[in-house]
Amino acid sequence: MRNLTRSVASFSWAMSLFGVEQMANLLSPRRAADAFGAVARSTEGALGPGLRSAFQTGDRLQRSMVDLSFSLVGLGSSANGGGAAQTTSGSGSTGAAAATSGLLTQVGNLAFELLQLGVTTVYWASGTAWSQQQGLPGWGNVDQQPPGTSS
């Protein structure tokens, strides 16, 4: 019990200082994004298989919504988006067509993410998620950042 109390206190204190640091990092948003991403990935790693699946689905949905919101206010698509919405630097009409296509892609993506959220919720609520077996680690996702290349 003592260890649990100590750990909860450490966690709260770490989160407080982390928040302060990221406020300072707002002047360099890339750094703040990396820091938040690292904490999110670490937290995700501590989740069990069932909740991890729910986290990933919700996370993708939130990202889709953010991408769509930014596109609607004309701030462009995400750098690591779907790939179908590639921007061009051609004529005005080509640029407009690309923007429309990009917007449609993001709307479509959001619709699929919403459906996937429903599927995952049923999967989670039915209890199947808790017995989901993981396979061989070598077949897991390939890190976006190779070891030793972090800035």
| Contact assessment for residue 120 and residue 53, using Cβ atoms and an 8 Å cutoff | yes
Q: Is the dihedral of CA 44, 50, 55, 60 positive or negative?
A: positive
- Considering beta carbons, is residue 8 or 115 the nearer one to another protein? 115
Nearest distance in Å: CB 146, another protein:
4
Residue-by-residue DSSP string for 18-68:
HHHHHHHGGGSHHHHHHHHHHHHHHHHHTS-HHHHHHHHHHHHHHHHHHHH
- Considering beta carbons, is residue 21 or 44 the nearer one to another protein? 44
Residue 74 as a binder of another protein (CB under 8 A): the answer is no
Binding mask 19-48 for another protein (x = CB under 8 A): -------------------------x----
* CA-based max dimension of the chain: 66
Residue 148 as a binder of another protein (CB under 8 A): the answer is yes
Residue 77 as a binder of another protein (CB under 8 A): the answer is no
Tokens representing 43 are 């937290």
Number of other CB atoms surrounding residue 67 within 10 Å: 24
Of 9, 40, 72, 84, the one binding another protein (CB under 8 A) is: 84
Q: What is the DSSP letter of 134?
A: P
Q: Is the dihedral of CA 117, 123, 127, 133 positive or negative?
A: negative
Compute how many residues bind another protein; rule: CB under 8 A: 39
- Considering beta carbons, is residue 19 or 135 the nearer one to another protein? 135
Residues that bind another protein (CB under 8 A): 44, 52-53, 56-57, 60, 81-84, 101, 105-106, 108-109, 112-113, 115-116, 119-120, 123, 129, 132-143, 146-149
